[in-house]
């Protein structure tokens, strides 16, 4: 099969399309013919040699999410059939024509989505749901501050908040992205300037109370501002570190406000937690996908062979939503699943 391989750590140019061994499904696994995958920040870090894949994933083939058709069942798999259309998360290896995944981590592809749309779904919506609702405890009538609101996770979080009746406040470096996010249901948009401050505006928008939950997708100095923008007893969930891994925090403020801080990743979790994540997607979000109440937002698509260009585009930070790679495996096209 063909796959995008990281030949050596470096820039987008180190990504090359090569022939590699086709994997085979073992007990409890299925093999999927990939219709599309998506580009994530973790892929960029892996390419640079800064974020190795978990031991059970290919070390030189990036890709954390996919959509496609099952073409092989491993021993003991009874919940799926060859030809079923599925999507899901993996530790790596999705920039390929075929991949092997544990059967219980799969999610049935929404019938009204193409492969490209479904490939843009798992990472963004699983991350937003897990961080904002399951860990952060966001509930109906509460408020959430969503940073990098124009990112894949940000666009998913806005839609989930709207669907559950929570108030969404979002930040971005540009008014253009805030305008796009308002069409998804964003209630308040805040442009973050060069000084990196936003807490005063958040407090003004919440009558001085602060938000119930912060979905922190930027990191760095934003975290110190988060403490000022969070209510007493609120939650700050740190997911992304685009602005850096270190920050000078006022721990006195953390104590006085009794703020709960969470750090979270999906990629390195053990199998049982990945299965739980798939169940959460099925149980909480599948009906919303079927009704088009929430939907993945795709900014641009590229052929798999142009993965380097896709990486360069994501690194430009110009996009709104997800960047997708169309794999177009022989025999399956990017068409709607049959109803």
The more confident residue out of 247 and 73 is: 73
Q: What is the pLDDT of residue 245?
A: 86
Residue-range domain boundaries for the chain: 2-121+269-326, 127-263
**CATH topology match: 2-121+269-326 vs 127-263:** yes
CATH H-level superfamily of 2-121+269-326? Medium-chain alcohol dehydrogenases, catalytic domain (3.90.180.10)
How far is Cα 166 from Cα 188, in angstroms, rounded to an integer?
Answer: 12
Is the pLDDT at 73 greater than 90, yes or no?
yes
pTM: 0.93
User: CA-CA distances (angstroms) from residue 206 to 202, 236, 238, 326?
Assistant: 6, 16, 21, 42
Is the pLDDT at 339 greater than 80, yes or no?
no
Looking at the chain, the whole-number percentage of residues with pLDDT higher than 70 is 97
Q: What is the pLDDT of residue 247?
A: 87
Mean pLDDT value of segment 272-291? 93
The more confident residue out of 240 and 140 is: 140
Taking the C-alpha atoms of 43, 49, 54 and 56 in order, what is their torsion angle to the nearest 10 degrees? 90
| Window from 61-65, 126-130, 238-242, 293-297 with minimum mean pLDDT | 238-242
At 21, the pLDDT band (50, 70, 90 cuts) reads: very high
Candidates 184, 170, 246; CA nearest to 215 is 170
Q: What is the DSSP string of 142-184?
A: -EEEESSTTSHHHHHHHHHHHHHT-EEEEEES-HHHHHHHHTT
Mean pLDDT value of segment 234-253? 90
Question: How buried is residue 247: exposed, middle or buried, by Cβ count under 10 Å (0-12/13-18/19+)?
Answer: middle
Is the pLDDT at 331 greater than 80, yes or no?
no
Q: What is the pLDDT of residue 59?
A: 92
Mean pLDDT value of segment 234-245? 90
Token pair 């990939």 is found at 34
Mean pLDDT value of segment 316-325? 96
Q: Do the Cβ atoms of 218 and 147 come closer than 8 Å?
A: yes
Q: Which residues of 293-304 are buried (b: 16+ CB within 10 A; e: fewer)?
A: ebbbbbbbbbeb
Is the pLDDT at 337 greater than 50, yes or no?
no
Mean pLDDT value of segment 39-60? 94
* CATH number belonging to the domain at 127-263, selected among 3.90.1150.10, 3.90.180.10, 1.10.1740.10, 3.40.50.620: 3.90.180.10
Give CA 90 to chain center in angstroms: 12
Mean pLDDT value of segment 133-139? 97
How far is Cα 125 from Cα 148, in angstroms, rounded to an integer?
Answer: 15
Q: What is the pLDDT of residue 330?
A: 53
DSSP 285: I
Structure tokens at 224: 């110190």
Q: Do the Cβ atoms of 302 and 95 come closer than 8 Å?
A: no
Q: What is the DSSP string of 292-307?
A: TSS---EEEEEEGGGH
Q: Which residues of 112-137 are buried (b: 16+ CB within 10 A; e: fewer)?
A: ebbbbbbbbbbbbbbbbbbbbbebbe
How far is Cα 4 from Cα 215, in angstroms, rounded to an integer?
Answer: 32
Is the pLDDT at 334 greater than 80, yes or no?
no
Give CA 270 to chain center in angstroms: 18
Q: What is the pLDDT of residue 241?
A: 85
User: CA-CA distances (angstroms) from residue 182 to 179, 318, 319, 323?
Assistant: 5, 17, 16, 20
| Window from 83-97, 153-167, 262-276 with minimum mean pLDDT | 262-276
pLDDT tens track for 147-190: 999 999 999 999 999 999 999 999 999 999 999 999 999 999 99
Is the pLDDT at 329 greater than 80, yes or no?
no
How far is Cα 333 from Cα 35, in angstroms, rounded to an integer?
Answer: 7
SS3 of residue 196 by DSSP: coil
pLDDT, mean over the chain: 94
| Window from 139-143, 235-239, 242-246 with minimum mean pLDDT | 242-246
Question: Three-state SS string across 67-125, please?
Answer: EEEEEEECCCCCCCCCCCEEEEECCCCCCECEEEEEHHHCEECCCCCCHHHHHCCHHHH
Neighbours of 178 (CB within 10 A): 19
């Amino acid at each position: 099969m063909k796959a995008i391989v990281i030949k050596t750590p470096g820039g987008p140019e180190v990504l090359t399309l090569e022939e590699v061994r086709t994997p085979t499904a073992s007990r409890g696994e299925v093999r999927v013919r990939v219709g599309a995958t998506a580009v994530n920040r973790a892929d960029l870090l892996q390419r640079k040699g800064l974020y190795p894949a978990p031991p059970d994933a290919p070390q030189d083939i990036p890709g954390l999410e996919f959509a496609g058709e099952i073409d092989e069942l491993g021993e003991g798999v009874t919940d799926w059939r060859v030809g079923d259309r599925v999507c899901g998360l993996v530790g790596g290896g999705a920039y390929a024509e075929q991949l092997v995944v544990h059967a219980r981590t799969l999610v049935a592809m929404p019938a009204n989505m193409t492969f490209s749309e479904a490939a843009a779904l798992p990472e963004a919506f699983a991350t937003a749901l897990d961080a904002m609702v399951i860990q952060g405890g966001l509930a109906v009538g509460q408020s959430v501050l969503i940073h990098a609101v124009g990112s894949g996770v940000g666009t998913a979080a806005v839609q989930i908040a709207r669907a559950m009746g929570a108030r969404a406040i979002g930040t971005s470096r540009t008014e253009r992205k805030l305008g796009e996010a308002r069409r998804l249901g964003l209630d308040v948009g805040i442009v973050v300037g060069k000084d990196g401050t936003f807490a005063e505006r958040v407090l003004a928008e919440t009558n001085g109370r602060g938000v119930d939950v912060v979905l922190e997708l930027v990191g760095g100095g934003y975290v110190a501002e988060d403490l000022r923008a969070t209510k007493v007893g609120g939650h700050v969930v740190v997911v992304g570190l685009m602005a850096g891994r270190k920050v000078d925090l006022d721990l006195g403020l953390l104590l006085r406000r009794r703020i709960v801080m969470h750090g979270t990743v999906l990629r390195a979790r053990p199998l049982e937690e990945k299965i739980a994540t798939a169940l959460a997607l099925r149980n909480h979000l599948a009906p919303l996908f079927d009704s088009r109440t929430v939907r993945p937002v795709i900014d641009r698509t590229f052929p798999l062979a142009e993965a380097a260009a896709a990486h360069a585009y994501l690194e430009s930070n110009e996009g709104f939503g997800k960047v997708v790679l169309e794999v177009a495996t022989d025999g399956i096209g990017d068409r709607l699943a049959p109803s």
